Amino acid sequence: MKTSVPNLLINPTNNALLFRKPPILMMKRLLLLLVFVLYGAGINAQDLRTSAVPRVMEIKAYVASLKAAELSSRTANPSSNRLEHLLNDVQPATYFTSGEVQTYGEAPNSLFTNSSSLSNIATSNIARANIEIVTITLSMNADLSRSIDLSVFSNFPNLKYIYILSNVETTDSVISGLIRNNDGKFGVFYKIDKGA
C-alpha cells in the first residue's frame, strides 16, 4: 500500500494553502511598514514646518528657553544674563521716532523706535555698530495694522534681539502676524503691557 507523505512543497493539494497565507501575511507587513513610514514622514514634515519659520515668543518664555538651552549646553557666557541686563538695566541708547535721532550715552547698544518709523531706519544716521537690542513700541491701534519688516535691520552688525512692546490690547497671534522677513537671525520676542 502506498502512503502519501504530507510534504507541503511537493504535495500539490496542499500547495494552495502554502501560497495563499504568505501573501496575506506579506501584505500585512507591508501595510504596517507603510503606516510607520507615513507617520514618520508626517512628524518630520511638522518639525520642518515649525523650524522653517522662527517663532515669536512672549518675553518670559523666550528668556526661559534661553536658560534651558544654556543648561543643556553648559555655556560659560550665558546669553540670557546679557539679555536680562539689556532689558532691565540702564543702557546707552538711541531713540528714533518721527525721523529724529536722539542718542544718550556713548556707544549706544539699545535702539528704541516705533512701528511708523521703521521704514526710515535704513536712511537714518543711527550709529549701528554697537546696537544689540531694538525695542519697537506699538502704542496705538493703528500700529497693529503696520507690518514689522525685520530686513531694515540687516545692516546692524551686532543686533541680536528684537523686542516688540505693545501698549494696546492685542494677542500673540496678531503680533506674530505683523512680523515680516524673519529669517531667524534675531531673537524676536514681545510683551503686551496695557498698563494699569
Q: What is the pLDDT, as a whole number, of residue 45?
A: 57
Same structural domain, 168 and 78: yes
Same structural domain, 37 and 69: no
Whether 165 contacts 137, CB under 8 Å: yes
Single residue among 52, 71, 93 that ends a domain in this structure? 52
The total domain count for the chain is: 2
Residues in CB range of 163: below 8 A, 6 or more apart: 59, 87, 133, 134, 135, 136, 189, 190, 191
Same structural domain, 79 and 173: yes
Same structural domain, 36 and 63: no
pTM of this prediction exceeds 0.95: no
Same structural domain, 114 and 163: yes
Amino acid present at 110: S
Same structural domain, 73 and 156: yes
Same structural domain, 41 and 102: no
Q: What is the pLDDT, as a whole number, of residue 98?
A: 85
Same structural domain, 31 and 83: no
Which residue segment(s) compose the domain that 95 sits in? 55-192
Same structural domain, 75 and 19: no
pLDDT along the chain (196 residues), means of 10: 56 51 70 74 56 74 87 73 90 91 93 92 90 94 91 92 93 90 89 75
Same structural domain, 1 and 43: yes
pLDDT tens sequence across 83-139: 898 999 999 999 999 889 999 999 999 999 999 999 899 888 899 999 999 999 999
Set of cell numbers at residue 11: 504535495
**What's the count of helices (H) and strands (E) in the chain, helices before strands?**
4, 9
